[in-house]
Structure 1
Amino acid sequence: MEFNMAALDLSDMKRFLLSPCPRAAGVVQCYIRRNKTRANKIFPEYSLFLKEGDRFLMCSKKRPNNATSNYLVSMRAGDLDRNSTNFLGKLRANFVGTEFQVFDDGYSPKELGGGGGWGSGNYGGGSGGSGSGGAKNMSLREELGCVMYASNVLGSRGPRKMQVAIPAVNEAGEVCKWSGLEGGRGSQTAGGGSKAIERVKNRDYDGSLYMVNKPPRWNDQVGAYVLNFYGRVTMASVKNFQLVSTEDFDRIILQFGRVAREEFTMDFQYPISPFQAFAITLSSFDSKIACD
């Protein structure tokens, strides 16, 4: 489905970034620039732009001095203060970089002194976060997605295998709140661990959209594994991927790939939000001890 700019409401940027992409928008085409110059050499800064009009949407950078990879995402360039109203959420990895959690801008159970498995009702109006307006989100954080990469004990440079889950969106456009799932299957443990990852491992997809990456095929001519990106990706890279629902392998929900040394394309469509799409692609940038 071709992109329809008129279907995007950018008047409330935070709401747009945190809400599911409208069906009528079709495939939204974006690109990511990686800045590795000077102060960003060790920890690059990633900036996301809408292809239409080269409009800036979000930026992210890995936090230094953390035991595991931790990326903050902001809707304002250069403002990566977690206490800022521009803060949208974060991506957090496990130690070996094979499991990732996507959070909104709320606080952890430890910070608020609470446990997991809370929530009022299963569905809400957006993907989480503080929504529109300038108020800082003072509530318990919501998990908005999880990403798992298959461990590769052989250290092969072959294609990675991805499993991704995000909260499901119902026909009314409401997003499932994982924290409100019955039976204590909330989005986090009291220590901040991911119950969503546990559910995916147990093949429990209730309240979730479950996605996998389309497996690429080996191409002798280019000497690499390749996918058909329909002209949107021009360079082979282990980071490139296409995500599809297991219920429809022909409909690509999110695709990401390299087009230059420091530039990548990111295209997505309903029901994923721009923030979720960006966070998932950030996980592909992160080094993976067991996969690379």
Structure 2
Amino acid sequence: MSLKSIVREIKDGMGGSMSRRGGSGEGKHWHRRTRSQIVVAPADQKEPIAHSSSESIRQGRWANLPPELLLDIIRRVEESEASWPGRAVVVFCGSVCRSWRAITREIVKTPEQCGRITFPISLKQPGPRESPIQCFIKRDRATSTYFLYVGLVPSEVGVDKLLLAAKKIRRATSTDFVISLVADDFSRASNKYVGKLRSNFLGTKFTIYDSQPPSEAAVQLNSRSSRRFHSKQVSPRVPACNYSVGTISYELNVLRTRGPRRMNCIMHSIPLSSIQEDGKAPTPASFIHSFDEQFSPLRGRVTVASVKNFQLVAAVDPSHNISAAEQERVILQFGKIGKDIFTMDYRYPLSAFQAFAVCLSSFDTKPACE
């Protein structure tokens, strides 16, 4: 029996059992709910939703496979599903039962280790150290929404894998870009909410907020770095704070000369030690500029001149023990390739969420910088 046949049998078996439990009147309803619980990974990543009403089914015969056999099955699935959307099968394996979930979590590596995005938590983990993860952003001017997809360019059949979505919301004194895991829910009271970007009045300074602290040691809340929701808008499962994890500042263009914008980005959640030799950037486990020849493949990804185009490199004090090559490494490139289509290539120590937030700042109006 092939791996896909096993997956299909598990899915059909669970759906049928739930249909029988629900009776003739509610069978279809229960069947639909069961499938959604199994296939869709929740916001806290590698902990798929488990409800007591279906626990006995979820811990059925497939949970009793010998650990050695189960390890071999999931390892083969993981190795065969190299990219989206195929890696949805890997996510499904982690949603079968507790034993499958534990083995899947043990096998699946972070983007830094394997260069692939699997679970939603991968979007908040640092990218690979060498080759960047290549993504693109689609802009919808009519709805002021921005969609981040994985891949080189949009596919002809329109089945691109959505990673993150953002909604631009103009306020009296600022602009917010609310970032979500889905394209149709931008409520900050939703469990799909992952963070936001907020600008000042002139659009020259931005603050990146994460829905969860990047690490236990980095939790430093004050009245200006966190914002609480109204108690009636928040469910018990949704975090009540935004954590300031980074700032972006655009230099003022006092002389009004034509040219590219200049920005400085400070990521409070990434310690300086992370880019030192053998350094390690914070890697959450769950959801609660050089123009050298070596970077020519990245520059080739930008085909349309735009004031929004930029490359971001690490810049630290020379007294720190950071090699010159590391300081000149491009860690984020953003560029226009067509009408409302932009590339976003990022690498360690940035995560997809952090890179997306930095790129979103380029879309806001900046009369003082142009």
DSSP 3-state at the match of 1:63: strand
Higher helix share: 2
Greater relative CO, 1 or 2 (CA 8 Å, sep 6+): 1
Separation in 1, partners of 2:302, 2:127:
22
Q: Which amino acid aligns with 1:164?
A: C
TM-score by length of 2: 0.52
Instruction: Please name the residue that 2:193 is paired with.
Output: 87
Structure 1 unaligned residues grouped into runs of 5+: 108-112, 119-133, 177-212, 216-226
CA offset at residue 240 of structure 1?
0.2
Structure 1 segment 109-188 matched on structure 2, within 5 A:
115=223, 135-138=237-240, 140-166=241-267, 167-169=269-271, 170=274, 171=278, 173-175=280-282
The 3-state SS of whatever aligns with 1:21 is coil
Answer yes or no: is the 8 Å Cα contact 2:290–2:328 preserved in 1.
no
SS of residue paired to 2:299: coil
Match of 2:354 in 1: 276
Q: Corresponding residue for 1:253?
A: 331
Q: For residue 312 of structure 2, what is the aligned residue in structure 1? A: 243
Q: Secondary structure at the match of 1:277?
A: helix
Q: How far does the alpha carbon of each residue in 1:165-218 deviate from its partner, in whole angstroms, 9 at most, with x for none?
A: 112254563539xxxxxxxxxxxxxxxxxxxxxxxxxxxxxxxxxxxx569xxx
Equivalent residue number for residue 48 of structure 1: 148
Q: Alpha-carbon deviation of 1:93? A: 0.7
Q: CA RMSD for the aligned pairs?
A: 3.2
Alignment of 1:287 onto 2:365: yes
**8 Å Cα contact 1:157-1:238 kept in structure 2:** no
Q: Which residue of 2 aligns with 1:265?
A: 343
What amino acid does structure 1 have at the position aligned with 2:174? T
Q: 1:175 corresponds to which letter in structure 2?
A: P
Please give the alpha-carbon distance, in whole angstroms, between the structure 2 residues aligned to 1:276 and 1:63. Answer: 19
Residues 1:18 and 1:291: Cα distance change in structure 2 (over 3 Å): same
Instruction: Name 2:167's counterpart in structure 1.
Output: 61
Structure 2 residue matching 1:255: 3-state secondary structure: strand
Change (3 A) 1:214 1:290: farther
Query: Shift of residue 255 of structure 1?
Result: 0.3
Secondary structure in 2 aligned to 1:279?
A: helix
The structural deviation recorded for 1:250 is: 3.4
Distance of 1:114 and 1:153 partners within structure 2:
34
2: CA distance between counterparts of 1:83 and 1:279?
19
3-state SS in 2 of match to 1:285: coil
Structure with higher Rg: it is 2
Please state how far the C-alpha of 1:233 moved relative to its aligned partner.
0.5
Question: Following the alignment from structure 1 to structure 2, what is the Cα–Cα distance between the partners of residues 254 and 31?
Answer: 12
SS class of match (1:58):
strand
Deviation at 1:23, TM superposition (A): 3.2
What SS is found at the alignment partner of 1:59? Answer: strand
Tell me which protein shows more strand as a share of its residues: 1
> Are positions 1:21 and 2:127 aligned together?
yes
Q: Which residue in 2 is equivalent to 1:195?
A: none
Structure 2 residue 117 is matched with structure 1 residue 34: no
Matched residue of 1:23: which SS? coil
Instruction: Please report how far the alpha carbon of residue 157 of structure 1 lies from its aligned counterpart in structure 2 after TM superposition.
Output: 2.7
Distance 2:115 2:172 in 1: 36
| Mapping for residues 99-110 of structure 1, pairs under 5 Å | 99-105=205-211
Letter in 1 for 2:280: G
The answer for the alignment partner of 1:78 in structure 2 is 184
Mapped to 1, the partners of 2:141 and 2:224 lie a distance apart of: 38
Displacement, 1:145? 1.2
Give distance in 2, aligned partners of 1:256 and 1:84.
Answer: 29
What is the alpha-carbon distance in structure 2 between the residues aligned to residue 79 and residue 272 of structure 1?
25
- The answer as to whether partners of 2:134 and 2:346 remain within 8 angstroms in 1 is yes
Segments of structure 2 that go 5 or more residues without pairing to the other structure are 1-81, 84-110, 153-158, 214-220, 227-235, 284-288, 317-325
| Structure 1 position 12, deviation (Å) | 2.6
Question: What is the Cα deviation at residue 229 of structure 1?
Answer: 4.1
Kept in 2: contact 1:147–1:162 (CA 8 A): yes
Q: What per-residue deviation string (whole Å, max 9, x for no partner) do you get for residues 56-96 of structure 1?
A: 10111111444211110001012111111111111011111
Letter in 2 for 1:285: F
